[in-house]
Amino acid sequence: MIITQEWLDSIKDEQGVTTGQEYLLNKWICDDDWVGKIIPDHIAKFLEHCKGYRGLPEAVKAFKGWT
């Protein structure tokens, strides 16, 4: 998949891309500018699914004893 600015805007939330999304984009694209670069389709779908996911849910934190 070729990354477009419209696609990048669609995977961002009000705070921008998540740390995980940024990490994966940087891992697959060794450049600061992601627009116009190619990533595998399965990575693009995963990044779309990660939109807005920031941190662990409280239930998971409680289960692990982190709260």
The answer to whether the beta carbons of residues 48 and 10 sit under 8 Å apart is: yes
Strand partners, 13: 16
**Which stretches in the chain have pLDDT values below 70?**
none
Give the model's pLDDT for residue 54: 74
Q: Does the pTM exceed 0.85?
A: no
Residue type, 33: D
Which pLDDT does position 63 carry in this prediction? 84
- The closest of 9, 42, 44, 12 to 25, measured between CA atoms, is 44
Predicted local confidence at residue 24, as pLDDT = 92
